[in-house]
Structure formats: C-alpha cells, structure tokens
Amino acid sequence: MIGSALIFFTLGQAFAPFGADRLQVELEIYAQGRWTPRSGEDLAELALDRGELGARVAILPGVAAAELRVEAIRSAGEGGALGIDGDTTVIRVKRAQVLASHTFGGGVILDGAMGFAADPWIAFVEDGYTVKALSRTGSERLLAWPTSDLAAVGRVAYGPVRVAVSVGNGEGLQFPERNNGKTTTAMAEVVAVRESGWRVVVAGVGRDGSIGPALVRDRRLGGGANVVTPYARGGVELVEAWGLGDVGEVEGVLVSGWLDVPIVECWFAAGHASTFGFENGSRGRISTFGGAIGAMPGGPGLGLRVWLAVDRTTTSGTAMAVVGGDGGDATTFLVIASAIAPFVME
C-alpha cells in the first residue's frame, strides 16, 4: 500500500496556485555514510548531502508572497578537509523570490516570480521526486542544469495545461551576475491522466542561452513524464544538449529515469539510472545508476526514511574532462537518513 508520503498530488485540480494565503515552512535533510572502494586507499566518510530550509510568507494574502530557501553545500572537494575559510560545509541562498498569483473567473491561473527563482524544468522533474536522497535528477547531475537562477518567470495554467517561460542569467547559483547574455527557458505541461490514485503529467522543454562572459552556448530540447499509481511512482527524462559547462562544442543526449516502489507497509525499494552520451572531438559517455531498499519508521505518512543504497558511476571517452564532478569509475555504498518536514499554517 502506498501511503501519503508517495501520493500527495491534489487530484481535484490539475495545477493549483502557489498558495500565497498562508505560511509554509519546509525542512529537508539528507545525511549519508559513504564507503567508496578505490585502487589505493578506500574513502569512508560521513557527509551531509543536502540540507535545505525554506519559508514562504504571504505579503498580500491570495495575491503575493515572498520565499526564501537556503541550503547547506559542501565547499571542499571529495575526501577533502578544507573548504571556504576552513569550513567544509557552508550555507548559501537557493531561492529568494517574490511571487504573485491570480485566478481568473474562467479558471485561468496566472503566476509570476522574480529573483532567485526555481527553474521550470527542474521544478517539474522534482515534482514528487521521492529519491533525492539516492541521487540528484539526471538533468542536474549530468547536465549541470541549475535548480534556480536570477530570473523572471511567468506561468499560465488552464485546465490540464500549463505553460511557463523563464528569462534569466543562465548561471544558476554560481557567478550569477557574470553573463551579459540571457537564457530563455520555455516549458509546457499536460496532465494526461488524473483519476483516483493515478496521475500522469507529460512535459516538453526548450532552452536557449549561454554561460559565462564568453557566451558559451547552453541549449536544451527535451521532454519527460511523472507518473503516480497506487502501486509505484516514477519519472523519465529525455534531453538533447548543445554545450555543457564551459565546453560549447559538446552535443549529446541524456536519458534518465527513476522508480519508487513500496514492498510491504513501511518498506520500499527505489532505483535510478541516467546516461549521457556525447561527442566532443571523440565520443564519450557518462552514466550513473543505483538502487536502495529502505524503511519508513513511523509509517509512510511521515517524511522520515532510512536507506541502504549503492551508487555506480562509469565514464568513457572524454567524459571526465566535460562533466568533472562525476568523472571516473566509482562504486559507492551508502547508508542514508532522510527527513522532509513540511509545515503549513492556515
């Protein structure tokens, strides 16, 4: 049986307004114990993979709100001891935005945001993404797609269809003011199925922009789907990329998917797989895949999970030079404790 931790979509309305009439607070923590066998000395460490705290407060109830979300990130390299000012973990702003929403009489919902706003594509892929503790999404992990950006975002929803357009610097959270060019992302979502216990949302995205003062191309075209059933939930991504990081010549295709399945009450299994094949002078490919079994202490209605997981990364060709952060071949065994604690004040 899937509990409320796995199905939390509002099936009565395809796309709801962002909710500017109440206080919303959410805490996400993913703590890990990692062991990575190596040809030399093995790497064993305790790490905070993700720590986020966010709050959204109404300015004009039902009309405008402000959101601030901060995250703890690792400032030292893998296995390193020193980061920024000697701190291996630092706090940075992930989102800082002003939002506005209006619902018209015909059922049209108009939303807008400005500031450090969530990227529309990553927001769609992460909508109901229950395996964050196991892996970042394929677009974020292998394409370095920023989760948020200094941008202005507009969305229009009517019935089962929503269209979003974002215009921003394209740099994400790193060097956000250095790019004189602008990056435009357009996305359309359609709720294809919405019945009791079932929901299927499909989306298409196009992105045209650049990175850095050299205006290195950063273009994307893709699609994906999120699926919720009474038996499991999952999602897929298919994205073609032109340019990656500071290498504008890279062209390739990302294929990614994930699955979260309850086994018996309070126990679950999960898995992910992503692969990016590209051409950059010579052919290359980087792939990540892994799985986990875990428990939900206290039941599926709570946001606490304990995972026993394995993660594998493989690279070939020039993949290491392009992606960097996930270069090389490595197998990591993990014990993960994750917690998601939302709070809404009516």
Write down the pLDDT at residue 105: 84
CA distance 91 to 103: 36
Return all residues near 259 (Cβ < 8 A) that are at least 6 apart.
232, 233, 234, 270, 271, 272
Q: What is the pLDDT of residues 276-299, one digit of tens each?
A: 998 876 678 999 999 999 999 877
Write down the pLDDT at residue 140: 93
Evaluate if pTM is beyond 0.75.
yes
Structure tokens, 345: 């004040």
Q: What is the pLDDT of residues 305-320, one digit of tens each?
A: 999 999 999 988 776 5
Write down the pLDDT at residue 10: 39
Which domains can be identified in the chain, with CATH numbers? 23-345 (2.40.160.10)
Write down the pLDDT at residue 212: 77
Are 331 and 346 in contact by the 8 Å Cβ rule? The answer is: no
Write down the pLDDT at residue 281: 63
3-state secondary structure the chain: CCCCCCCCCCCCCCCCCCCCCCEEEEEEEEEEEEEECCCCCCEEEEEEEEEEEEEEEEEECCCEEEEEEEEEEECCCCCCCCCECCECEEEEEEEEEEEEEEECCCCEEEEEEEEEEECHHHHHHCCCCCCCCCCCCHHHHHHCCCCEEEEEEEEEEECCEEEEEEEECCCCCCCCCCCCCCEEEEEEEEEEEEECCEEEEEEEEEEEEEECCCCEEEEEEEEEEEEECCCCEEEEEEEEEEEECCEEEEEEEEEEEEEEEECCCCEEEEEEEEEEEEEECEEEEEEEEEEEEEECCCCCCCCEEEEEEEEEEEEECCHHHHHCCCCCCEEEEEEEEEEEEEEEEC
From 182, 196, 121, 194, select the one nearest 152 (Cα to Cα): 182
Residues in a beta bridge with 92: 71
Q: In a structure prediction context, what are the per-residue pLDDT tens digits for the chain, which is 346 residues long?
A: 233 333 333 344 577 777 666 788 989 999 999 998 987 788 898 888 889 999 999 888 888 999 999 998 776 554 444 445 555 678 888 999 999 999 898 889 999 999 999 999 999 999 889 999 999 999 999 998 999 999 999 999 999 999 999 999 887 776 656 667 789 999 999 999 998 889 999 999 999 998 877 788 899 999 999 999 999 999 999 999 998 877 888 899 999 999 999 998 899 999 999 999 988 766 789 999 999 999 998 777 668 999 999 999 998 877 655 554 455 688 999 999 999 888 776 6
CA distance 314 to 329: 4
